[in-house]
Chains A and B, each alone.
Chain A
Amino acid sequence: MNKIVKFILLDILKNKIVVLYTLLLAVFSWSAFGMEDNSTKGILTLLNLILLTVPLIAILFSTIYIYNSSEFIELLLSQPIKRKKIWSSMFVGLITSFILAFTIGAGIPLLIYAPTNVGLMMFAIGIIISAVFVSLAFLSSILTRDKAKGIGIAVLLWMYFALLFDALVLFLTFQFGDYPIEKMMVGITATSPIDLARIMVLLHLDVSAMMGYTGAIFKDFFGTPLGLSIAFALLVLWIAIPYWISLRLFKTRDL
Chain B
Amino acid sequence: MIELKNISKNFGKLNVLNNISLQFNKGECIALIGPNGCGKTTLIKSILGMVLPNSGEILFNNQNILNSVEYRKNIGYMPQIGRYPENMSIGQVIDTIRQIRMHETASDEELMEQFKLPSLFDKKMHTLSGGTTQKVSATIAFLFNPDVLILDEPTAGLDPLASEILKEKIIREKEKGKLILITSHLLSELDDLITHIIYMQDGTVVFHKHINDIKRETGEERISRSIAQILRKQAV
Partner of A3, one of B50, B85, B99: B99
- Rounded to whole angstroms, the CA-CA distance of A81 and B77 in the bound complex is 14
Query: A254 at the A/B interface (Cβ < 8 Å)?
Result: yes
Query: B70 at the A/B interface (Cβ < 8 Å)?
Result: yes
CB distance from A41 to the nearest CB of B (A): 39
Q: Which residues of B contact A (CB under 8 A)?
A: 11, 45, 48-52, 69-73, 75, 77, 79, 81-88, 92, 96-97, 99-101, 137, 140, 150
- Rounded to whole angstroms, the CA-CA distance of A12 and B71 in the bound complex is 31
Residue in A closest to B84 when the chains form the complex, CB atoms: A72
Query: A146 at the A/B interface (Cβ < 8 Å)?
Result: no
- Rounded to whole angstroms, the CA-CA distance of A134 and B49 in the bound complex is 27
Instruction: Evaluate contact between A72 and B83: CB separation under 8 angstroms.
Output: yes
Instruction: Evaluate contact between B88 and A11: CB separation under 8 angstroms.
Output: yes
Instruction: Evaluate contact between B85 and A69: CB separation under 8 angstroms.
Output: yes
CB distance from B126 to the nearest CB of A (A): 10
Instruction: Evaluate contact between A254 and B51: CB separation under 8 angstroms.
Output: yes
- Rounded to whole angstroms, the CA-CA distance of A133 and B11 in the bound complex is 30
Interface string of A91-124 (1 = CB under 8 A from B): 0000000000000000000000000000000000
Instruction: Evaluate contact between B96 and A71: CB separation under 8 angstroms.
Output: no
| Tally of chain A residues near chain B (CB < 8 A) | 26
Query: How many A-B contacts if CB must be within 8 Å?
Result: 75
- Max chain A Cβ within 10 angstroms of own Cβ: one of B48, B85, B86, B99: B85
Instruction: Evaluate contact between B70 and A80: CB separation under 8 angstroms.
Output: yes
What residues on B are CB-neighbors of A24 within 8 Å? none
CB distance from B80 to the nearest CB of A (A): 9
Partner of A82, one of B69, B87, B101, B150: B69
Interface residue ranges of A43-81 to B (CB < 8 Å): 68-72, 74-81
Instruction: Evaluate contact between A80 and B72: CB separation under 8 angstroms.
Output: yes
Partner of A7, one of B11, B45, B69, B92: B92
Q: Which residues of A contact B (CB under 8 A)?
A: 3-4, 7-8, 10-12, 14-15, 68-72, 74-82, 252, 254-255
Instruction: Evaluate contact between B84 and A77: CB separation under 8 angstroms.
Output: no
Instruction: Evaluate contact between A252 and B52: CB separation under 8 angstroms.
Output: yes
With A79-B97, A80-B73 known as contacts, the answer to whether A71 contacts B50 (CB < 8 A) is: no
14 A-B residue pairs with Cβ-Cβ distance under 8 Å, sorted by A, are: A8-B85, A10-B92, A11-B86, A14-B87, A72-B83, A75-B97, A76-B100, A78-B48, A79-B101, A80-B101, A252-B52, A254-B50, A254-B51, A254-B52
- Rounded to whole angstroms, the CA-CA distance of A7 and B92 in the bound complex is 8
Instruction: Evaluate contact between A11 and B85: CB separation under 8 angstroms.
Output: yes
What residues on A are CB-neighbors of B87 within 8 Å? 10-12, 14-15
Instruction: Evaluate contact between B92 and A71: CB separation under 8 angstroms.
Output: no
Instruction: Evaluate contact between A75 and B50: CB separation under 8 angstroms.
Output: no
Instruction: Evaluate contact between A74 and B79: CB separation under 8 angstroms.
Output: yes
CB distance from B156 to the nearest CB of A (A): 15
With A3-B96, A4-B100 known as contacts, the answer to whether A78 contacts B50 (CB < 8 A) is: yes
What residues on A are CB-neighbors of B72 within 8 Å? 78-80
What residues on B are CB-neighbors of A75 within 8 Å? 77, 79, 82, 84, 97, 137, 140
CB distance from B72 to the nearest CB of A (A): 4
- Rounded to whole angstroms, the CA-CA distance of A69 and B51 in the bound complex is 17
What residues on A are CB-neighbors of B101 within 8 Å? 79-80
- Rounded to whole angstroms, the CA-CA distance of A75 and B93 in the bound complex is 11
Instruction: Evaluate contact between B49 and A77: CB separation under 8 angstroms.
Output: yes
What residues on B are CB-neighbors of A82 within 8 Å? 69
Instruction: Evaluate contact between A77 and B81: CB separation under 8 angstroms.
Output: no
